[in-house]
Structure 1
Amino acid sequence: MPVTADLLDAARAAPGFMPDDEGTALYEAARAVAVPGPLLEVGSWMGRSALYLAAAARETGRQVVTVDHHRGSEEHQPGWEYHDPTLVDPAVGLLDTLPRFRRTIADAGAEDVVIAVVARSEVLAPLWATPLALLFLDGSHTEESARRDQDAWVAKLAVGGTLAIHDVFPDPADGGQAPYGVYRRVVASGEFTELPGTGSLRLLGRTSSPR
């Protein structure tokens, strides 16, 4: 489908940190989910992963909901490795990636399938009642915030749905351990079965309701 190919090309060209093989795996996982419901990602940055999900959503008649406060994670703040001063809103002195995110989605022609919610994930979660077909966790990677996202959202994934977790590195030398901790806790719950992943992207299918 040419429109889907265009969205995948736009995802590859968009600013962000997700390698294409992992983004393509996320797209394939979202396209393969059989249960009804939207696709929801926690952590959007400038929209790259949202476009991989949008390609799957367009093929399957779904919507993508992105949840991000758009103030950046810890590593994006002044003095940290990934800080970009051009993203700071001078009026408030804080990062604001929302304009760049909206431009990414608009330039790709994906505004019809991507719904952006500007909020902290734990603030939105208590208001959310629709079972999710796919949940993609890629928010802030501190232990506290990663656990908070897990506690807020994993229970909202439908049986038969897919949980995707990004930046899972079993070896501390390769990256932070917070997403790996989420992955291990989810596996230990006994509610999921592991699906083939790619790189640092782990995929798990929900097989039973939360206990």
Structure 2
Amino acid sequence: MDAIKDVRLITNSVEGWLNDTEGIYLYDSARSCTGKGVIVEIGSWKGKSTIWLAKGSLAGHSIQVYAIDPHTGSEEHRAIMPYIDTYRDFISNLQMASVNHIVKPIRKTSAETVADFSSPVELLFIDGAHDFLSVKRDFLNWFPRLIEGGLVVFHDTDWDGPRKVIEQLVLNSRMITNAGFLSGSSIFHAKKIRKNSVSDALFNRYLIYLRRFSLYLSTIQLPASVKRIGNNALKFIS
């Protein structure tokens, strides 16, 4: 736990929208990578999630982390900040965290990167632009690069773009198993498999409706006991 505490202290000074629960999950996922593929992060901003992934990798098998981001922001950022360049802060934060040797920054969009990317991927973290078409493109472009048994993770799944991609594409895929939403976070995770079982497919459909129910509960006024039942149900299957 001392290692986790240290990473938390480091990342607390880094701007970003990743909470500690999500960071610890990324750390554990990266630490569990076996070396059959690399770690790919789509969307880095100023490096908060990158540091969690890199520290986890260093605690495990020291798998290379590829951090893909043009560092010019996405549409939702540019709507409020016309000029964005996060690259200098990103590099500075990696150096501050002493992970720059394990992280390979790729200052391009994920679509520009995928054509020339030859390494198999064991852990794929999708947290780029959140509009539906961008998330869909990230998933369709990169999921084929994920090895069998590899892990795909989405952040900000309460946004419409990631939510719709997960519902329409990910959970309807016959190559998805062990799917779930991380309690206390906006993270969705799933393992890639050659072909899932009928029970996997049914569970994935059930997960769609349970997630919708949970999001609905968060928007309406209900007795705390009712909300607690819904949230506990989601926590149980996550």
TM-score by length of 2: 0.75
1:119 partner amino acid? K
Unmatched runs of 5 consecutive residues or more in structure 2 = 196-238
What's the secondary structure of 2:115's corresponding residue?
A: helix
> Would the alpha carbon gap of residues 192 and 33 (structure 1) be closer, same or farther in structure 2, given more than 3 Å must change?
farther
User: Is 2:179 the partner of 1:190?
Assistant: no
**Residue of structure 2 in register with 1:46 after alignment:** 46
**Residue of structure 2 in register with 1:91 after alignment:** none
**Residue of structure 2 in register with 1:160 after alignment:** 149
Counterpart contact for 1:36–1:133, Cα < 8 Å: yes
TM-aligned CA deviation for residue 73 of structure 1: 1.1
**Residue of structure 1 in register with 2:21 after alignment:** 21
User: Is 2:30 the partner of 1:30?
Assistant: yes
Counterpart contact for 1:33–1:160, Cα < 8 Å: no
| Worse overlay, 117-126 or 143-152 | 143-152
TM-aligned CA deviation for residue 30 of structure 1: 2.1
The higher relative CO (CA closer than 8 Å, separation ≥ 6) is in 1
CA distance in 1, matches of 2:165, 2:9: 30
TM-aligned CA deviation for residue 34 of structure 1: 3.9
Counterpart contact for 1:6–1:108, Cα < 8 Å: no
TM-aligned CA deviation for residue 33 of structure 1: 3.4
Question: Between Structure 1 and Structure 2, which shows a larger proportion of helix residues?
Answer: 2
TM-aligned CA deviation for residue 6 of structure 1: 3.4
1:191 partner amino acid? M
**Residue of structure 1 in register with 2:74 after alignment:** 73
Counterpart contact for 1:167–1:201, Cα < 8 Å: yes
Give the percent of matched residue pairs that are identical in Structure 1 and Structure 2.
Answer: 29
1:200 partner amino acid? S
**Residue of structure 1 in register with 2:113 after alignment:** 124
| Worse overlay, 192-201 or 60-69 | 192-201
Unmatched runs of 5 consecutive residues or more in structure 1 = 89-93, 170-175
TM-aligned CA deviation for residue 19 of structure 1: 1.0
| Worse overlay, 41-50 or 24-33 | 24-33
Q: Tell me how many residue pairs correspond in the alignment.
A: 191
| Worse overlay, 98-107 or 31-40 | 31-40
CA distance in 2, matches of 1:119, 1:65: 11
Counterpart contact for 2:33–2:63, Cα < 8 Å: no
Question: Between Structure 1 and Structure 2, which shows a larger proportion of strand residues?
Answer: 1
Q: Over the residues paired in the alignment, what is the CA RMSD in angstroms? A: 1.9
**Residue of structure 2 in register with 1:181 after alignment:** 164
> Would the alpha carbon gap of residues 148 and 14 (structure 1) be closer, same or farther in structure 2, given more than 3 Å must change?
same
Counterpart contact for 2:31–2:58, Cα < 8 Å: no
**Residue of structure 1 in register with 2:6 after alignment:** 6
Counterpart contact for 1:143–1:178, Cα < 8 Å: yes
**Residue of structure 1 in register with 2:55 after alignment:** 55
CA distance in 1, matches of 2:24, 2:160: 23
Counterpart contact for 1:121–1:149, Cα < 8 Å: yes
CA distance in 2, matches of 1:151, 1:125: 11
